[in-house]
Amino acid sequence: MTDDLSPLQLVLGASLIVQIVMALLLIASIASWAIMLRKRSELNRARSEADRFEEVFWSGGDLSAMFRSIDQSRRVTKGMESIFESGFREFSRMRQHANLGSAQLIESARRGMRVSLLKESDRLEQGLSMLATVGSTSPYVGLFGTVWGIMGAFHGLGNVQQATLAMVAPGIAEALIATAMGLFAAIPAVIAYNRYADQVSRIELRFDTFVEELSTILQRHAAAPTRGGAAAESRP
């Protein structure tokens, strides 16, 4: 009886529909754990890169020199560095037009930074929808497998005159495994989604704050003369 009710035997002895449900839940669990591990590394890296860039940015150096250093490196920028590059590039380009006022310069720079910010937000939020989907649907998928398995167990009783617990126990047990697998897939996904969604919101808030801070700095120096075709701003 113990061997017959072992988890492996119950899974192997389950009906085809229940086995399909279990396989789908297993795939969803593996996919969600892969996303969780990747997202953890990605968010840790995003925070570290933001900390390093802010340290350099607020060190009081020349913005034009910082922009040239980033531009000449020809590498793919991310996070705050990407926002700074987009905003300062647009500011420098539009500043060549002498007929543009300070408000127009700042608005152009802000548009460039906002586009970059939206791209960064989209990159950080990738995978969160999958975690939310697994967390919200897995219990119901498991419940479907359980209901189907119990239906099959009780349907088998229709061909016998006297029902015993030993006859329905294997069918009910295999059905309940589907619910357990649904919860196993859903609980970590829900916890990870809530945690990572909060971290993404915090990083996005840092990006949004940086956009406002850089806009203020550029506005302060918008009336300064250009040198060598580019603005030579530095923090006071």
pLDDT tens per residue, range 46-87? 999 999 999 988 887 788 888 888 888 777 888 899 999 999
* Domain-wise residue ranges, the chain: 7-220
Average pLDDT value for the chain: 83
Q: How confident is the model at residue 231 (pLDDT cuts 50, 70, 90)?
A: very low
pTM above 0.85, yes or no: no
For the cut 70, the answer to whether the pLDDT of residue 105 exceeds it is yes
Strand ranges for the chain from DSSP E: none
Pair 233, 64: CB distance under 8 Å: yes
> How many Å apart are CA 200 and CA 117, to the nearest integer?
12
